Amino acid sequence: MSARPGIPPEADNRPTDAAGSVANPHLAGILLMLAAIVLINLSDTSAKLAIDTVSVFQVALVQVLGLMACGLIAARSANLPRVMKTPDWRMLILRSACQFGAGLCYYKGLQLLPLADVIAIILLGPLATTALAALVLKEQVGPRRWAACIAGLIGAMLIIRPGMGGIGWAALWPMGCVTLYSIYVIMTRSLTATNRTSTLMCWGASVGTVVLLLAAPFYWVWPEWQIWLGLAAVAVLSGASNGLRIRALGFAPASLLAPFGYAEIVGGTILGLIVFGTFPDGWSWAGIAVIVGAGLYVWHRERRKARG
């Protein structure tokens, strides 16, 4: 079966009812997105616990290995060269480098900052993607959406507040993650039409796998079995979450799924309080509200634009 334009080929393998029609594809996409958020919240918590014992590079290595394994599982094949066969390999290498850099920045941010604050800054992603789409892809972005992007940046500054009791310059790590991940998202937009989900997942892990395996002798330590369990959780949960997010976009448009992404801050706040005893202060909550509000406004404008 040929793939429909703009979605991964596997998205055509959707659950169907007895009549052979798609059974609630939008609901399926929303549920997959929410499941992906739960898994990534749990993965982040496991990573933050593990980073106290092992290096950021070691956590990143198990994460990319997990992503590679999940890609092979999604392809239902152990033939990696066949799964990774694509005419777009140059673009996919660049995309993988962006994903690798974003992952390192993210885990470094987790090492230095409270979980909820890192997630709050990561929520700038949709706004950064909007800005980059205008600058790089020349997509039309009106003054209202530009204003929303600027508002989101102001919200981030309320959280960071360098020199004023906020989280300070350590926030450059999650900000770097947002920038690199937004480039990754823009590249993924054009590559999902011609590549399977499994291909995107395996290529996404390729650069990180090669670089981190080659560098492993310089940073690898053998942790206790409890840390091994945490690292295994990072690999499995983050890989599964990535696959579910890609799959969700095959069932429902990004404009429908976007607001549900903000549920991540809820899970991050709850887990941060339960596991680490941290909770955002008043200024941080104000910044979170501004970022979420600006992101929802961009989503609203996208929906109006799509309706014509």
| 18 against 129, higher pLDDT | 129
Query: What is the structure's pLDDT at 16?
Result: 37
Mean pLDDT across 112-129: 84
Query: What is the structure's pLDDT at 306?
Result: 63
| 88 against 25, higher pLDDT | 88
| 69 against 262, higher pLDDT | 69
Query: What is the structure's pLDDT at 308?
Result: 60
Mean pLDDT across 131-136: 77
Q: Where are the domains of the chain?
A: 25-306
- Give the residue from 269, 113, 109, 240 showing the smallest Cα distance to 179: 109
Mean pLDDT across 129-154: 77
Between CA 10 and CA 18, with CA 14 as vertex, the angle to 5 degrees is 150
pLDDT at 32 over 50: yes
Backbone angles phi, psi at 22, to 5 degrees: -70, 130
CA 291 to CA 294: how far, in whole Å? 5
pLDDT at 21 over 80: no
Note the pLDDT tens digit of each residue in 265-292.
Answer: 888 888 888 888 887 778 788 888 888 8
Note the pLDDT tens digit of each residue in 158-186.
Answer: 887 765 556 778 888 999 999 998 888 88
Spell out the residues 6+ positions from residue 290 whose beta carbon is closer than 8 angstroms to its own. Answer: 151, 152, 154, 155, 158
Long-range contacts of 253-259 (CB under 8 A, 24+ apart): 253/306, 255/299, 255/302, 255/303, 255/306, 256/26, 256/29, 256/30, 257/29, 257/30, 257/33, 258/126, 258/295, 258/299, 258/302, 259/295, 259/296, 259/299
First to last CA, the chain: 31
Query: What is the structure's pLDDT at 162?
Result: 63
Mean pLDDT of the chain: 81
- How far, CA to CA in Å, does 95 sit from each of 61, 158, 159, 199? 17, 31, 29, 12
Q: How confident is the model at residue 75 (pLDDT cuts 50, 70, 90)?
A: confident
pLDDT at 18 over 60: no
pLDDT at 84 over 50: yes
pLDDT at 6 over 60: no
pLDDT at 249 over 80: no
Number of Cβ within 10 Å of residue 156's Cβ equals: 23
Instruction: Give the percent of the chain with pLDDT over 70.
Output: 87
pLDDT at 13 over 50: no
Element (H, E) at 226: helix 225-251
Mean pLDDT across 73-87: 89
State the amino acid at position 103 in one-letter form: G
Mean pLDDT across 31-54: 90
pTM: 0.75
Q: How confident is the model at residue 212 (pLDDT cuts 50, 70, 90)?
A: very high
Q: How confident is the model at residue 92 (pLDDT cuts 50, 70, 90)?
A: very high
Instruction: Give the percent of the chain with pLDDT over 90.
Output: 20
- 208 near 64, Cβ under 8 Å? yes
pLDDT at 22 over 60: no
Query: What is the structure's pLDDT at 19?
Result: 30
